[in-house]
Structure 1
Amino acid sequence: MNDSKCVRKGFVADHIKSLPKSGIRRFFDLVNTMDDVISLGVGEPDFVTPWTIRETGIFSLEKGHTSYTSNLGTPALRREVCRYVRDNYHVSYRPEDECIITIGVSEALDIAMRALLDPGDEVLYTEPCFVSYPAEVRMAHGIPVPIETKVEDAFALDPAVLRRKITPRTKVLLLNFPCNPTGAVMPLESLKEVAAIAMEHDLVVITDEIYSELLYEGEHVSIASLPGMRDRTLFLHGFSKAFAMTGWRVGYACGPREIIDAMMKVHQYAIMCASTMAQEAALEALRNGEKEMLRMRESYCERRNLMVDGLNRIGLDCLLPKGAFYTFPSVKSTGLSSTEFAEQLLKAEKVAVVPGVAFGACGEGFVRCCYATSASDLIEAIDRMGRFVQSLKH
């Protein structure tokens, strides 16, 4: 029998076959084949997890805490998360049924989409954006609808543009401020307008605030804290960026009981629970990690200033980002596309940056440079980039 006759379209689902691979990871497959590369690419702190957090995770193992936890996460961590969110973001949630611990914010977003979306529902999100956003929507059989942000607006969301994008199928608005890849933040008055639009059109808002501790100017305000927004907003956060805990994979979501319960069902069947050891380490981070977090933030701020000054000096126009640990300079003056610039820079000077187009079509003409690396490497990277830019003029 010819087995090929039994498989008409192949084994893989069409909606997965159509997904592009991550533009970041594809590019860094090239980096891994080269020596002496200064990487400004992967969005990961260069600090190791602070000592007391590491020790708590180790001690958890030594005490034999190796069993499953509740699907929602340990009660102690949920209580501390809700305390932390109340004290820092001014929104109160019940740890019993309005908070779930997840495998990083990535899982929180995934199960949120699967819990909220019916096939054909539209999700609005700002672009340039984290590479997972449109893919997560498609995997949940929703329709991703990007909202362009512009350098002229400091990459903030324009409420008027948001309003024009809404259709009868729009169900969710996904926000990420401070933003990956631009470092942009939302002015408070614009955020209030966005909240009013969400209420007017009965939208669910998912707010990914993973970079909110890494804010260098002004005060961070969560849209969940604005009047009328708590009960239609899902607040996503985690430990990877502020506490240098990327490999521990711990995140959380806080929101209305109905949504958290639906997310728990997906999490329950797909994951069971986050690592017990990692949850206990995360508890230590919230209780005693602030001093180290502030120390890391101060270092990032110094590097941000160094990076922005250097990029502008070598002729790559760059806004001063107010949050996260990325710069998003324009490479339009070179005459190269963002991909051409990144590939030729890597080949000529062994500096790795991410093409802006990896973060959506309106990221074309820019590249993302992560400054979560040593100051000495940043200085060397800027020198190499300057030589490359000059070489294009000859």
Structure 2
Amino acid sequence: MEHLVNKRVQNIQISGIRKFFNLVADYDDVISLTIGQPDFLTPEHVKEAAKQAIDNNKTTYTHNAGLIELREAAVQFVHKKYGMNYDANDEVIVTAGASEAIDITFRTILEEGCEVILPGPVYPGYEPIIRLCGATPVHVDTRNDGFKLTASLIEKHLTDKTRAVVLPYPSNPTGCTLSEAELTDIAELLQGRELFVLSDEIYSELIFGDTHRSISTIGTMREQTIVINGLSKSHSMTGWRVGLVFGPKQIMQHMLKVHQYNVTCVSSITQYAALEALTNGINDAEPMKNEYLKRMNYVYTRLNQMGFEVEKPTGSFYIFPSIEKFGMSSFDFALKLVQEAGVAVVPGDAFSNLGEGYVRISYAYAMDTLEKGMDRLEQFVKAR
């Protein structure tokens, strides 16, 4: 019966991140630096809010878009933090993680034959959804531009089929961010054109030494930008599955229909936990970010001492060193690293073919784990 399965589904692959994570799961004594899972616990006050919601029988359906008080807290959060302005009534939807937000965005705005411009290398969660919509991902090579999708690179790839440009910054897997000047250049290029910007800002609270800026706040870009965020990274709530998507009313009214028939609404208990996180926990990310900064500096320094070519991250909790000089594919390098040194990283080709020649290291792990991982990596490199 498999031949009756939708051909587009047959042609997409399981995420390379998870594929490699599963591949090395059976190896003994492996230090895994693979998954973007914060090693911090969900804040206690957030967990208590969820427990209280259960005890108070807050277990019914909510509005499809989410609890109004949660939507109000969400728009207040992004306004206070980033100067963004949205109406809680009809310009924000609470989603089942940022992943569902990406899904309903693309399913709302894409049609057969459309093109979507993405930076490469890039998080692998966009391309499969684009292809399921019958659209074509257009990966732009950013390797010589500090992994940044600049206005000049975008301009070279714009066609009359371009329906959307994806700006996933801070970046997974590279850790790079866009400056205000770079965002302004992109805004000047794109504003007024009949296309959307999907701005994935899930790591917005994890920027080092600067404040996050959203392209939606520049010029008239708000009217053509869909902003995705959530609490997985900022509040260490990956398993709670709570995302947020913001956009202009005329677009969001259609996205709400897709969301409604997808999940009806996010878990009510999760929503009450999220409400606590966005209000009393508005600055919960600060101590986590400070720790990630220390870890980033440590890992970056160690990689440099080992002779890796690597861009210094300015956000998120990933670093993306080149392994080209070792003369191996990224998959072979990562596999040998597991087999010979007991360290797991993610092969760069999991982030499109433009990630070949790199590996992704997550430093969302305790310092002692990172120290052991870097020591083992150094031994592996010295043996080459």
- TM-score of the alignment, normalized to the shorter chain, above 0.5: yes
Aligned-partner Cα distance in 1 for 2:97–2:192:
31
1:29 aligns with 2:22: yes
Q: Provide the residue aligned with 1:3 in structure 2.
A: none
Aligned-partner Cα distance in 2 for 1:127–1:319:
15
Q: 1:34 to 1:44 in 2, by over 3 A?
A: same
Aligned-partner Cα distance in 2 for 1:291–1:105:
20
Q: Provide the residue aligned with 1:244 in structure 2.
A: 236
Query: Structure 1 segments of 4 or more deviating over 4 A?
Result: none
Q: Provide the residue aligned with 1:254 in structure 2.
A: 246
- Residues 332-371 of structure 1 mapped to structure 2, 5 A cutoff: 332-371=324-363
Give the counterpart letter for 1:89 in structure 2: Y
Q: Out of 273, 278, 281, which is 2:273 matched to?
A: 281
Q: Provide the residue aligned with 1:86 in structure 2.
A: 79
Q: Provide the residue aligned with 2:108 in structure 1.
A: 115
For the residue of structure 2 that corresponds to 1:118, the secondary structure is: coil
Give the counterpart letter for 1:190 in structure 2: E
For the residue of structure 2 that corresponds to 1:153, the secondary structure is: coil
Aligned-partner Cα distance in 2 for 1:68–1:87:
29
> Cα RMSD (Å) of the superposition?
1.2
Aligned-partner Cα distance in 1 for 2:345–2:327:
17
Per mean C-alpha deviation after superposition, the further-off stretch among 248-257 and 195-204 is 195-204
Shift of 1:30: 1.7
The answer as to whether partners of 2:77 and 2:282 remain within 8 angstroms in 1 is: no
Give the counterpart letter for 1:234 in structure 2: I
Shift of 1:74: 0.2
Q: Out of 202, 207, 211, which is 1:215 matched to?
A: 207
Q: For residues 119-155 of structure 1, what are the alpha-carbon distances to aligned partners after superposition, in whole Å with 9 as ceiling and x for unaligned? A: 11111111111111111111122111111111x4221
TM-score w.r.t. the length of structure 1 is: 0.95
Q: Out of 132, 143, 151, which is 1:159 matched to?
A: 151
Gaps of 5+ in 2: none
TM-score w.r.t. the length of structure 2 is: 0.98
For the residue of structure 1 that corresponds to 2:87, the secondary structure is: coil
For the residue of structure 2 that corresponds to 1:125, the secondary structure is: strand
Q: Provide the residue aligned with 1:46 in structure 2.
A: 39
Q: For residues 367-394 of structure 1, what are the alpha-carbon distances to aligned partners after superposition, in whole Å with 9 as ceiling and x for unaligned? A: 00000001011011011001111111xx
Shift of 1:291: 4.1
- Residues 158-197 of structure 1 mapped to structure 2, 5 A cutoff: 158-197=150-189
For the residue of structure 2 that corresponds to 1:80, the secondary structure is: helix
Per mean C-alpha deviation after superposition, the further-off stretch among 361-370 and 140-149 is 140-149
Q: Provide the residue aligned with 2:61 in structure 1.
A: 68
Aligned-partner Cα distance in 1 for 2:232–2:360:
19
Q: Out of 50, 62, 81, which is 1:57 matched to?
A: 50
Aligned-partner Cα distance in 1 for 2:126–2:64:
25
Give the counterpart letter for 1:221 in structure 2: R
Per mean C-alpha deviation after superposition, the further-off stretch among 374-383 and 192-201 is 192-201
Aligned-partner Cα distance in 2 for 1:113–1:71:
19
Aligned-partner Cα distance in 2 for 1:161–1:175:
13
Aligned-partner Cα distance in 1 for 2:13–2:92:
32
Shift of 1:160: 1.2
Shift of 1:315: 1.8
Q: For residues 32-85 of structure 1, what are the alpha-carbon distances to aligned partners after superposition, in whole Å with 9 as ceiling and x for unaligned? A: 112211111011101110100011111111111100000000000000101111
Shift of 1:192: 1.0
Shift of 1:200: 4.9
Aligned-partner Cα distance in 2 for 1:251–1:54:
17
Aligned-partner Cα distance in 2 for 1:167–1:270:
31
Aligned-partner Cα distance in 2 for 1:143–1:192:
26
Q: Out of 77, 83, 90, which is 2:70 matched to?
A: 77
Give the counterpart letter for 1:323 in structure 2: G
Query: How many residues are aligned here?
Result: 384
